[in-house]
Amino acid sequence: MCSIILNNKQAPKSVVYISFGTTSTTDEQINELAIGLEESKTKFTWVLRDADKGDIFAEKGRRVEFPHVFEARMEGVGIVIRAWVTQLEILGHPSTGGFMNLCGWNSCM
């Protein structure tokens, strides 16, 4: 799994895992979070699936766009995964030190 490959290169408890599940997130919210991560230089694994799009009525195939070349600039610091992942595997990994989520019932463990 690509997130684990990133995490294996990081110190224990140094990576924030970000996942909002199927909660709708607007492009503006996603961009603001991306800017904050970049400015803080926080190491992260961010799961952002198509279901996370803010406009559920938008045309099919719409892809969330980050600030200009965000993913390229964050290479080695963070990774964006646009697919389903095994949450327990990421949360149980030694380098995962934080979990940013929507705090709904599905995020309680």
Phi–psi pair at 25, nearest 5 degrees:
-125, 130
User: Is it the case that residue 39 has pLDDT exceeding 90?
Assistant: yes
| 76 in a structural domain | yes
pLDDT in tens, 51-84: 545 555 555 555 666 777 888 888 888 988 888 8
Q: Which domain holds residue 84?
A: 1-8+23-101
For the chain, the domain total comes to 1
| 16 in a structural domain | no
Mean pLDDT of 26-33: 87
Task: Confirm if 1 and 86 have CB atoms less than 8 A apart.
Answer: yes
| 94 in a structural domain | yes
pLDDT band at 49 (very low <50, low <70, confident <90, very high): confident
Q: Which of 5-19, 23-37, 44-58 has the lowest mean pLDDT?
A: 44-58
| 108 in a structural domain | no
| 56 in a structural domain | yes
